[in-house]
Structure 1
Amino acid sequence: MTFLTGAARQGAPPKRAYLAIALLIAAFLFGGGARPDITSLLLLRPLSAAALVYALWKYGSLFWQERWLPGLVVAIVLLPVVHLTPLPPAIWSELPGRGVVADTFRAAGMALPWQALSMTPIATLNALLSLMLPVAMLLLCFSLDKAQQASLLRAVLVVGMLSGLLGLLQAIGSPNSPLYFYRITNNGMAVGLFANRNHQAIFLACLLPLLAAHLSLISARQETVIFQKTLTIVAAVFLIPLILVTGSRNGLLLTGLAIPAAFWIYRAPLAVGRGIEMSSVRKLSFSAFVTIGAVMVALLVFASLRAPAFDRLFTEDVSSDLRWTSFSALMHAAGELFPFGSGMGSFVEIYKVYEPYNLLSPNYFNHAHNDYMEIWVTGGLPAILIVLIAAILLLSTLRLAVRPDQRMSSSRDDLILLRTGVSVLTLLAIASVGEYPLRTPSLAVFAALAVGWIVSVYRRAYGQKVPA
């Protein structure tokens, strides 16, 4: 519990803090895959709906007090709602890219029916339902005070370390091990709690700024500070080879960006109160560091010999990767479907229409592996505008985090949380150029937490209060 409660100096957290942690754990246990047909969604979706209803009922008024965030969230939710709105045949059949659908009805001898703007309404409905979980977490995060949000940050670290250890066991063990939680996954790779090794690597890289924040937020006796420093250093040293074991180039790139972000966030932890004699504590910490480090290094060396991930990092031809060779086809699809797009969540079916013959294979392309391109194809101009607004807001927040004004810099802990949230969102935004991390429910919740940290800092700095 010491790791989870580090900086908290208040009484017992309210029930909403436990609810937020429970929702976080559920997201990572049941939401590690981006496919719409994973069985665990049968559990996660009802939990998401219940949490969203509760959060809106209890904390919706707090959400509407914000200036820009409600509009952005409503726009994100309304986009798939608009895509699901039925249109008369005279309208939808004339929209860009809908000719293939109209021709299919005519070839079957059927009259054109009323049709949603989305070319695949079921997939768009799934995209709409997937928003319940991150919005619920966002509202719950708003309701927490600074110490409780720090505890939630540490809960993410605990989940991340467990995912990393699980990935190590997967790399050491059999490709058909029951430790793989998803039917369609990267067997033989270190995927952890995810179905995709790239998402595992992205998540682990994002933990480096969180480790810096965890250590910076500690205010405790000197012996506790020394223990936490040792624990944090061991965790950070352990994370980097764990990312290498995944074999993800995206994860390797993010690690190179996450390390300077961690140093940017870090502030020396505060030692308070009278401490005990330090020599024994330092000796114990050093012994623990050496012992744990030696065990971890041995396991990682063994994993590197067993897993094919390391070879992939340096031998696989990047130019043959489908995410690059399909780019021209995706550009063509985006142009033909502009400005309305094909409908949120419709990528799999739409890509089949535009897939070049030379790229046909027994495997289907589940996402564009470039989320900005996929958003352009499926969401059209409205989705691109939403992304641009979000990018402008993130850049504005980044500028304030780099050069905080007097009110923002008055609270040391708030500035740490602000920089952590900005770092996580920036890393996820960069990762989305070559992957689709936010299509995974657990990483969408992680991003919602980062937004919650940022907006809560703004609220505390500029006068709004957390509810009792």
Structure 2
Amino acid sequence: MGARRSVVPAYLFACLLFGGSTQIAWGNAILQLGAIAIIVWAALSRTRAKLPSGARALAWLVAGMTGLVALQFVPLPAAVGAAIPGRMMVRDGLLELGLAPGWQSLSLAPYDTVSAALALLPPLAVLAAVVMLRAYSRTGITVAVLAGAMSGLVLGGAQVGSPMANAEQYYLQLEVNAGTPSGFFANPNHMATLLLVAFPFAAALLESGLARDGRLADPRRVAAGGGTMAVLIVGLVLNRSLAGWGLLLPVVMASLAIILPMRWRRGGAIVAGVGTLALALILLSPAVRARFNGDAATSVSTRQEYFTTSLAVARTYAPFGSGIGSFARVYRMKEDPRGVDATIFVNHAHNDYVELLVETGVPGAVLVLLFLLWWGRTALAMLRTPSADVYARAGAVASAAILLHSVVDFPLRTSAISACLALSIGLMIVSCRRARSAGDLRPTRHIEIR
């Protein structure tokens, strides 16, 4: 049983170390092979848990996503393919080369679609292992998340603290934002996402060291959780991610709300308010502001450009999209050549939802909307459930941070963050299964026999 419960923590930690970028090809390949083994184990296991109602709804969404991926490879006759919006260029290009148009797939980049589809395996494996196999312990997954975040901070410190001549050896990818504390990721913003995800789990560790009356039950857990929370805040400040800074206060407040006893929440709010004020004063200091304003202005303007151009691409390929994984190829067709910077390669829309709209069109947008509705309903049900443990509530905060950060970046395109989202969702589902409402918790009855 002990070995079984170490599966999710060990696999999750591996995702955080080797799944931070698609550039680490060998690392992602190992993670995908491991994911296949876990999924097959979940499918064939005789001891797998029965899916709760919430998980059944999610299973249908996963089935829909799988069907959408499979649809990308369905061969279409040349006439049908040319009739789909955005595909006429394929026919015209072949004719220009003197070639007869033949059968083609719905995806304009089927090889890229294969790569994108394989990237879905790690989060599906984590979700199956949590919900169906229960192959985890709450302490184990917390240690895995916090160890991954702390390891990334240590590596990030080496990346920015070493002389530029030696700093390159601390980056695991060839294409990175040099001089930034990106840790195991190629993008420092994704490192900020991991730090935000780790914060509620550190808070849950702290809460697990408190007794029901609020007194210390395990000082070591309280010290470890509180100390880790402080380090994570410092790491987010030094990371200089605009989205990370924007989400820091909501994540801190939400984490305090899920761990503090009712009578402590007012004091906790005061402490959080004072800390936020101190943080604001630091960020607004002339030295920090002067260094950050230029980067912030550039970041906002480029994202606006990506957003506008991506919507134009989405309209071109509506309603079926250009194909999963094809964004980088079709985006370049809509760029204004006069404004292209040769030093910048746009590989993502920096908005996961817009990028999915480009690649999957209306069917993908419907699936995303249904998922968000399911997530909101599940989160509310879990938070209202008296038996929901603090780790499930931490999962709700962590998943919310990921989904919000995805509006201005692409963290879910990495196996590391997508695995964290799957873990968080799995914890929410398992918690909801224990008791759906306060009425499900029967009061204790005593019988006296004379």
Q: TM-score, normalised by structure 1?
A: 0.80
1:17-166 equivalent positions in 2, closer than 5 A:
17-35=5-23, 38-58=25-45, 62=49, 66-143=55-132, 148-166=137-155
One-letter code aligned to 1:369: H
What are the superposed Cα offsets for residues 423-464 of structure 1, whole Å, 9 maximum, x if unpaired? 111111110110001001010100000111011112222599
CA deviation profile, 1:135-174 (whole Å, cap 9, x unmatched)? 1111111146598134313321122122122212222113
> In structure 2, what residue type is equivalent to 1:109?
G
Contact between 1:203 and 1:443, CA under 8 Å: does it hold in 2?
yes
SS class of match (1:259): helix
2:235 counterpart residue number: 242
What secondary structure does 2:84 align onto? Answer: coil
Task: Report Cα offsets for 1:228-277 as digits up to 9, x if no partner.
Answer: 22222222112112112222101111212211111121146xxxxxxxxx
AA aligned to 2:151 is L
Counterpart selection for 2:256 from 257, 263, 277: 263
Aligned partner of residue 117 in structure 1, secondary structure:
coil
2:181 to 187, 190, 213: 190
Matches within 5 A, 1:356-435: 356-362=336-342, 363-402=344-383, 404=384, 408-409=385-386, 411=387, 414-435=388-409
In structure 1, what residue type is equivalent to 2:396? V
Structure 2 counterpart of 1:169, one-letter code:
A
Q: Shift of the alpha carbon at 1:64?
A: 5.2
Q: Which amino acid aligns with 2:252?
A: I
Letter in 1 for 2:397: S
Q: CA deviation at 1:311?
A: 5.8
Q: Kindly provide the amino acid, as one letter, of the partner of residue 373 in structure 2.
A: I
Q: Where does residue 276 of structure 2 map in the other structure?
A: none
The answer as to whether partners of 1:60 and 1:139 remain within 8 angstroms in 2 is no
- Residues 52 and 136 in structure 1, CA contact (< 8 A), matched pair in contact too: yes
What residue identity is the alignment partner of 1:178?
Q
Letter in 1 for 2:293: F
After TM superposition, the structure 1 stretch with the greater mean CA deviation from structure 2, 424-433 or 16-25, is: 16-25
Which residue identity lines up with residue 13 of structure 2 in the other structure?
I
Mapped partners of 2:391, 2:224: distance in 1: 20
Alpha-carbon separation, structure 1, partners of 2:132 and 2:142:
15
Q: Secondary structure at the match of 1:326?
A: helix
SS in 2 for 1:17: helix
Partner of 1:273: none
Equivalent residue letter for 1:132: L
- Given candidates 208, 215, 221, the residue that maps to 2:206 is 215
Which residue number in structure 1 is paired with residue 431 of structure 2?
457
* Shift in CA distance, 342/194, structure 1 to aligned 2, threshold 3 Å: same
Alignment of 1:196-211 (within 5 A): 196-211=187-202
Give aligned-pair identity as a percent: 29
Q: 1:266 to 1:90 in 2, by over 3 A?
A: same
User: Structure 1, unaligned stretches of length 5 or more?
Assistant: 1-12, 269-300, 302-307
SS in 1 for 2:98: coil
TM-aligned CA deviation for residue 422 of structure 1: 1.5
Letter matched to residue 233 of structure 2: I
> 1-side partners of 2:217 and 2:94: how far apart?
70
The amino acid that maps onto 1:214 is L
Measure how far apart 1:126 and its partner are: 1.0
Q: Is the 8 A contact 1:247 1:309 kept in 2?
A: no
- 2:308 aligned to 328, 343, 367, which one? 328
Tell whether 2:254 aligns with 1:314.
no
d(CA) in 1 for partners of 2:198, 2:289? 21
Please report the RMSD computed on the Cα atoms of aligned residues, expressed in angstroms: 2.8
Question: 3-state DSSP class of the match of 1:114?
Answer: coil
- Output the amino acid matched with 2:109: T
Task: Show structure 2 runs of 5+ residues with no match.
Answer: 262-281, 441-450
**SS at 2:60's partner residue?**
helix
Cα contact 1:205–1:251 (8 A) shared by 2:
yes
Q: Tell me, what secondary structure is at the counterpart of 2:349? A: coil
- Cα distance in 2 between the residues matched to 1:380 and 1:74: 18
Q: How many residues align?
A: 407
1:420 partner amino acid: A
Q: CA deviation at 1:17?
A: 1.7
TM-fit CA distance, 1:225? 2.3
Question: Hey, what does 2:266 align to over in structure 1?
Answer: none
- Cα distance change of structure 1 residues 233 and 126 upon mapping to structure 2, 3 Å threshold: same
Post-superposition offset of 1:62: 3.8
| The one of 234, 242, 245 aligned to 1:252 | 245
- Per-residue CA distance 1:175-201 (angstroms, 9 max, x = gap): 434221111112211011211100001
Task: Return closer, same or farther for 1:169/1:319 CA change in 2, 3 Å cut-off.
Answer: closer
Alignment partners' CA distance in 1, 2:319 and 2:234: 44
1:225 match? 218
What's the TM-score, normalizing by structure 2? 0.83
Structure 1 pair 56–344 and aligned structure 2 pair: CA distance change class (3 A): same
CA distance in structure 2 between the partners assigned to 1:109 and 1:356 by the alignment: 29
Call closer, same or farther: CA 1:174–1:41 in 2, change over 3 Å.
Answer: farther
Q: Is the 8 A contact 1:346 1:378 kept in 2?
A: yes
Post-superposition offset of 1:368 = 0.2
In structure 2, give the amino acid aligned to 1:330. S
